[in-house]
Amino acid sequence: MTTATVCVPHCDTPWFLKACLESIAAHQHHDLDIDVIVACQTQDHAMHKQVYGIIAASPLKVKLLHCRLLGCGHGIDEALRFATGEYFCTLDCDAWPIHKNWLWVPVRLIADGHAQWVGSDTGLALSYKEKGHFVHLNNYYRVSRTDVARTVSRNVGFIRWDSRWEVDFHAKDYYWESLGGTVKCDNGVVAMHHTRDHKKISLPILRCLGRAPSGIYGMVIEDLVFHLVFARNRLQNEDPAKAYGKDYLELYDAMQKHGVSRDDITLLVKTANDGIWVGDFRKLDGNSVSDDLNKRIEETKQS
């Protein structure tokens, strides 16, 4: 049986973590054995108790890691030290599987040699044009072989480049600083640039719930995963109404108060529409995939 470790970075949103673990448990492929690492950066003691209770109630094999508050990239690096699966998936706590093949599709695409990474590209690399062309697959849903991700973690890290000294992380390769332009960057950017010669498949965002001033939210990715977006940002923002808008805040506050059930997620997926995010397709290294690869993906989704 194929094995996979799922890393779920988490900070201060246990209601989303609960929905994530429940969704993983409800959508499993019979040929895939999954274990989960929750890379938790919550600093509040009372909230820690909630996290313990959620993990204890989960039918999944879950390991809890306590990490410093340095972003999801640091949590991913820490999780890779303990990952035991052949494949490694990063999944935000507000990204919830909605199909039993949500992980099987990326695993098979990698196993069959179509790519080394599978995930979703929303164009973050465009913010770093001075570094040259590369494809950035976001941390919220990304799969590779564990040994590949672990090597990248050791070479440059998934942690924000300017945060690495806070955990005494010494990269093996410091080329990022020699490329010119900004050194500061988001989680995973250096890792994705470091792997610019790797084949990367981006699965499309088919529909969204809405568009806030800060961007789209409620993304349906390839009908495999639903990603709410802005999970912890909403708690940190000094002016959330300006950043996220009334509709998003009402949805978020209801989830925080009442939790998120599987029926809630099903309704969100049905409510999402394709008129907000237009023209996104499956891509291989930034280009449209072949008809044969499209067929292979469809077949794997139905397997």
Number of domains composing the chain: 1
Give exposure, 23-60, as e/b (b: 16+ Cβ within 10 Å): bbeebbbeebebbbbbbbbbeeeebeeebeebbeebee
Q: What is the pLDDT of residues 199-211, one digit of tens each?
A: 999 999 999 999 9
Question: Structure tokens of 53?
Answer: 């209770």
Residue 167 has what pLDDT? 87
**Interval 97-148: pLDDT, tens:** 999 999 999 999 999 999 999 999 989 999 999 899 999 999 999 999 999 9
Give me the domain span that covers residue 133: 2-302
Q: Residue 273's beta-bridge partner residues? A: 208
pLDDT digit string, tens, across residues 46-97: 889 999 999 999 999 999 999 998 899 999 999 999 999 999 999 999 999 9
Residue 129 has a CB neighbour count (10 Å cut-off) of 9
pLDDT of residue 293: 97
Q: How confident is the model at residue 164 (pLDDT cuts 50, 70, 90)?
A: confident
Using alpha carbons, select from 83, 61, 219 the residue that is nearest to residue 140.
219
The whole-angstrom separation of Cα 169 and Cα 153 is: 10
- The pLDDT score that the predictor gives to residue 267 is 97
Structure confidence at residue 128 (pLDDT) = 92
207, burial (CB in 10 Å: exposed 0-12, middle 13-18, buried 19+): buried
User: What is the tens place of the pLDDT at every residue in 165-209?
Assistant: 888 887 777 788 888 777 888 999 999 999 999 999 999 999 999
How many CA atoms, within 13 angstroms, populate the side-chain half-sphere of residue 249? Answer: 13
What integer pLDDT is reported at residue 234 of this predicted model?
Answer: 65
Beta carbons within 10 angstroms of residue 22's beta carbon: 22
Q: What is the pLDDT of residue 49?
A: 93
Domain CATH code at residue 151: 3.90.550
Residue 233: predicted pLDDT: 67
Q: Say whether pLDDT at 232 is over 80.
A: no
Mean pLDDT of 234-253: 85
Main-chain phi, psi angles of 201, to 5 degrees: -100, 130
The packing angle between helices 146-155 and 72-80, to 10°, is 120
Q: Which residue has the higher pLDDT, 91 or 242?
A: 91
Q: What is the pLDDT of residues 21-39, one digit of tens each?
A: 999 999 999 999 999 999 9
